[in-house]
């Protein structure tokens, strides 16, 4: 079992408060110090332990409070308050799932084609033995195929015209249709679909027209 990092006492207290612009305030107070710790296991603001790269400001948000300020997370929690199937396309390291996986009767289908990010997510999920979750090593698209993805963490993209000047590492991946996967997994109803796939959203929707029309 990996050691969970100790956070500054003040941070542990302040993040419990409903402060205005809390993410920005806590980043100002603690961001530089946390960034020196690099990759560590952290007890997040909601009590769940997750592996985070504290050099990444979006990972530090998870330490301070709800990811991205919590508007989307609050909506998702409300949508899943009675359980149901949650499709997370573009899971990355599970920035959304760590807030939703513990809700009773939630079943998550996590899609992350970038191997490094998916393995990171699966390592975190190994700690959550009572969560109903299945990960898939595919991207969602309009038809079953193979392609390359430009790998850049949460900003990984299937768009070849994005981030050209970065000269990013590319990985060969498979694309699947959500319609086919829902049929294989015997899913008749999806309570919430988080679709964040860096420019491939339209193709992912085309691959779910059967379900969306039903």
Count CA atoms within 13 Å of residue 108 on its CB side.
Answer: 29
pLDDT category of residue 123 using cuts at 50, 70 and 90: very high
Q: How far is CA 81 from CA 21, 76, 104, in A?
A: 26, 8, 8
Which domains occur in the chain, in start order?
Answer: 9-65 (no CATH), 73-213 (3.40.50.150)
Q: Strand 138-140 relative to strand 192-195: parallel, antiparallel, unpaired? A: unpaired
pTM: 0.89
Residue 51: name the closest of 94, 97, 105 by CA.
94
| Rounded average pLDDT over 55-77 | 90
The 3-state DSSP class for residue 50 equals: strand
- CA 132 – CA 110 distance, rounded (Å): 11
Six-digit token string for 15: 């993040």
Percent of the chain at pLDDT exceeding 70:
100
The DSSP output letter for 157 is: B
The 3-state DSSP class for residue 62 equals: helix
Residues 6+ apart with CB under 8 A from 187: 85, 109
């Amino acid at each position: 079992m990996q050691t969970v990092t100790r956070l500054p006492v003040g941070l542990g207290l302040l993040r419990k408060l409903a402060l205005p612009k809390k993410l920005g305030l806590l980043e100002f107070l603690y961001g530089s110090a946390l960034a020196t710790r690099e990759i560590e296991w952290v007890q997040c603001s909601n009590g769940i332990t997750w592996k985070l790269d504290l050099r990444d400001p979006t990972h530090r948000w998870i330490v301070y409070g709800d990811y991205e300020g919590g508007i989307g997370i609050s909506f998702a929690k409300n949508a899943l308050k009675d359980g149901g199937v949650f499709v997370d396309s573009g899971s990355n390291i599970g920035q959304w799932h760590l807030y939703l996986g513990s809700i009773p009767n939630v079943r998550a289908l996590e899609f992350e084609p970038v191997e490094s990010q998916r393995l990171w997510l699966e390592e975190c999920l190994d700690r959550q033995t009572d969560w109903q979750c299945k990960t898939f090593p595919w991207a969602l698209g309009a038809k079953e195929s193979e392609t390359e993805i430009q790998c850049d963490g949460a900003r990984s993209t299937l768009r070849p015209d994005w981030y050209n000047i970065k000269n990013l590492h590319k990985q060969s991946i498979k694309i699947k249709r959500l319609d086919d996967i829902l049929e294989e997994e015997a899913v008749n109803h999806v309570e919430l679909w988080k679709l964040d796939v860096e420019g491939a959203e339209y193709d992912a929707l085309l691959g779910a027209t059967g379900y969306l029309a039903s």
